Amino acid sequence: MFVSVLDGVALCTPRRRRLVDDDALLARADARPAHAPVLRLLAAIRRQDPALLRRVLLYQLLPLARQGATGLGLDPAELTLLAKASRALPDLDDRQRTAAEALAPLWSRRRLRACAHAVTALGPDVLRADPWLGSLDARLRRRLDRCDRDLAAAGTAAPADPAGAEAGYLRVLAVAADDDEAVRGLIRLGAVPATADAPLTARPVEGGRVALAWPARPGVRWRVLRDAPGPDRATPVPGAGGTASTAVDADPPVGLRVRYAAFPVEDGRPTGVPLVSHPLLVAPDAEGAVLEDGPARIAVRWRRPRTATATVLTLTGPDAPTLRHTVDRAEEHVFTDLEPGVYQLLLTARHSSPSGEPVDAPGVRRTVTVHPWPRPLTALTADAGPEEGVRFTGRGAEGAEVRLVVWPEGAAPAPGTELRTDALPAPLPWARYGAPGHTVPDTAFTGLVSAVTVLGERALAGPGVRLDVPGPVGAPRAAREPGGQVRLLFDWPSGAGAVTAAWPGGDLRISRSAYVREGLRLPVGPGPSRVTLRPLVPEAGDGYVGDGDARGGGRDAGAQTGVQTGAGAGTGADGTGGRAAGTGARGRTDRTVVAVRRAPVGVDVPGEAVVRYRLLTRRRGLRARVPYAVEVSVDGYDPAVPLPELVLVHQDAVRPRHAEDGTVLLRIDGAALARAPLQTLELPPVPDLSRPPYALRAFLLGDGAGAVRLEEPALTTLVVR
């Protein structure tokens, strides 16, 4: 089987010849998926023009036949004829072949100037060898000559008769749609003076693009061109066209001054003078410019356009020379050693034109003020008082306010960090920098106290010092016990590692664990006394024994090595530790903790007062002895201190546990006890005490009950069975 192409495209066998139609090509495409795209293309060509398929095959086979190719699947006789015919035709190189292939589509789109270039590329020998090409060349020359005459006439008439020039240019474009001179002539007619508003606005937008806008006309379609200087033709703006009255040129040529023209078109042909913009220099400016002032400086950040080769910064200030700096690839710069005042900054992006010349963007102008900033605090010292509180002093910060603040844990800025006043934590109410006296917080405090120098709305972070201040001893009270002992009760101070109790005969130090486990009892003696309680801060390496023993001269119950009473210095602004000042102080870093003492609280312990009572009984018949009265005596009380009242409580079967656990048989107020140190009181007849079982018990109630010891008789006398 072989192919015949000279008299139609057919598949031939020695006995049969069958023409190849659309159905045959599509059937082979379905049977051979690997060749399906080519076969379907050939079927589409034949549907368009049955003779076109033959011409396409001949155009492809003639060069192969000239080269003596074999194995083409052609009728051998036709292959011989094709080889002979090909030798009579001009031999086209690749450039000529490309030009010849472009002629038909260019002619159909009326691109006569491009057709002329293609004909020139073919050369006179090819034109003489092909009558059709020679005829095409003759028609092309006649039309282009007419276009040239119309162009010359329009150019001459343009100054005096714009309408006539417009008509001439449109006639040229109706014949040769790609006539660049006619396009530029219409653009020149549509251009407006620089002092007038252009009907088409072109403005740079972010990303180096150009946004275009013009008045809308209902039903009018547009074609937008970009016209640049030089011989190059005006090029369409990608994505622009249709009936929309806006467009964006996403990739304009950088470094050139261009104009944009929106042509009204109908069936692809311009119908009038275009709307033309003013010339625009395509040189994108820097974007996102941010200026921040600092102490004697201005920091500038920006985003450099992708086409920029450098950025030029020009700073002009009050009574100062103009500063200019060029940055190649960076996107930030800092001007230093500036005096306070208002400065003008011009930020210019520099680009490279197609010819390699530098082209500067119009520039971004900004105004920035260099404000006065406070001077830094170079050192902070915390001087713990010998008795209570802490005093803060330091170096530096001349002319500025110094505030003492506490930052959230781990968020304290480094010394020298620039801050805004409205972002600062509230100042510590109890800490005052430079105050003459020592101060102490109302509650416990443990943390880093940081200094901040403030001037107006601006502040600088300073050094800090860590403090450990225990809370106060809360609600101290004393209860007398036998043998001159006093039991002290109080709320343990927050943050305290130990508490020191002192009285005229000695002192004692007790740890929290010992206090919780054993309580605090002091041998103050039977007389009136005053005990003071001072909280102590734990120190690294402290150990607590908590034996609860105490003697004069400082016996410890839960021993502690002592409290640092000197002052610690925090780190200076240069990051070095300040020198500590005060008794027993050492050089400290910002991790050193300054232990701050808190004034002791006192509790008055009255002399030991004892109230004794016993039941008086008598035998009633043959029964057991029955109580009928109570004898009460008071010893050792201070007349200036009121005595509590005494109540005698009755309870059936079990012994009363407190004053409200039964029936009150007898109540003696403190004044009555004080008037008669020894008195006997009859018991009431109700309830009947002759009917056991029951139990009696006395209690002390009211203020000072804890300071008076109640001495009870034997239990057997209080329980009647």
DSSP annotation string for 662-673: SEEEEEE-HHHH
Written as six digits, the tokens of 89 are: 């035709």
Q: Report d(CA 180, CA 147) in Å as an integer.
A: 12
Residues 6 or more apart from 202 whose CB is under 8 A from it? Answer: 210, 211, 212, 259, 260, 277, 278, 280
Q: Alpha helix locations (H) across 394-451?
A: none
Report residue 38: phi and psi, to 5°.
Answer: -65, -45
DSSP 422: G
Residues 6 or more apart from 477 whose CB is under 8 A from it? Answer: 488, 489, 490, 603, 706
What is the per-residue pLDDT for 415?
Answer: 93
DSSP 470: P
Q: Alpha helix locations (H) across 399-509?
A: none
Q: Report d(CA 97, CA 76) in Å as an integer.
A: 26
- How many residues comprise the chain? 721
What is the per-residue pLDDT for 410?
Answer: 87
Q: Which helix (H) or strand (E) holds 451?
A: strand 445-455
What is the per-residue pLDDT for 696?
Answer: 92
What is the per-residue pLDDT for 101?
Answer: 85
- State the CB neighbour count (10 A cutoff) for residue 651: 15
Q: Are 186 and 166 in contact (CB under 8 A)?
A: yes
- State the CB neighbour count (10 A cutoff) for residue 688: 8
Q: Report d(CA 173, CA 234) in Å as an integer.
A: 14
Report residue 482: phi and psi, to 5°.
Answer: -60, 155
One-letter amino acid for residue 83 of the chain: A
What is the per-residue pLDDT for 483?
Answer: 80
Q: What is the pTM of this model?
A: 0.56
Q: Report d(CA 372, CA 389) in Å as an integer.
A: 35
Give buried/exposed letters for 51-73 (b at 16+ CB in 10 A, else e).
eebbebbbeebbebbeeeeeeee
In the block, residue with structure tokens 């919780």: 516
Chain centre to alpha carbon of residue 2: 76
Q: Which long-range contacts does 687-690 make (Cβ < 8 Å, 24+ apart)?
A: 687/650, 687/663, 689/626, 689/627, 689/628, 689/650, 689/720, 690/620, 690/623, 690/626
pLDDT in tens, 98-133: 888 888 889 988 999 999 999 999 888 888 888 888
Q: Report d(CA 621, CA 619) in Å as an integer.
A: 6
Residues 6 or more apart from 302 whose CB is under 8 A from it? Answer: 286, 287, 288, 289, 290, 311, 331, 332, 347, 364
What is the per-residue pLDDT for 183?
Answer: 92
Q: Report d(CA 185, CA 164) in Å as an integer.
A: 12
What is the per-residue pLDDT for 557?
Answer: 42
Residues 6 or more apart from 586 whose CB is under 8 A from it? Answer: 566, 580
Q: Report d(CA 310, CA 622) in Å as an integer.
A: 125
What does DSSP say about strands 593-595 and 458-469: parallel, antiparallel, or unpaired? parallel
Provide the 3-class DSSP secondary structure of residue 547: coil
Q: Report d(CA 37, CA 29) in Å as an integer.
A: 8
Written as six digits, the tokens of 182 are: 């006619």
Residues 6 or more apart from 138 whose CB is under 8 A from it? Answer: none
What is the per-residue pLDDT for 25?
Answer: 84
What is the per-residue pLDDT for 539?
Answer: 64
Q: Report d(CA 434, CA 400) in Å as an integer.
A: 12
pLDDT in tens, 268-301: 889 899 999 999 999 999 989 999 988 889 999 9
Q: Report d(CA 216, CA 264) in Å as an integer.
A: 11
Q: Please list the ranges in the chain whose pLDDT falls under 50.
A: 540-590
Q: Are 567 and 465 in contact (CB under 8 A)?
A: no
3-state DSSP percent of the chain in helix, strand and coil, to 5:
25, 35, 40
Largest interatomic CA distance in the chain: 169
Give the N- to C-terminal CA distance of the chain in Å, as an integer: 140
What is the per-residue pLDDT for 591?
Answer: 61
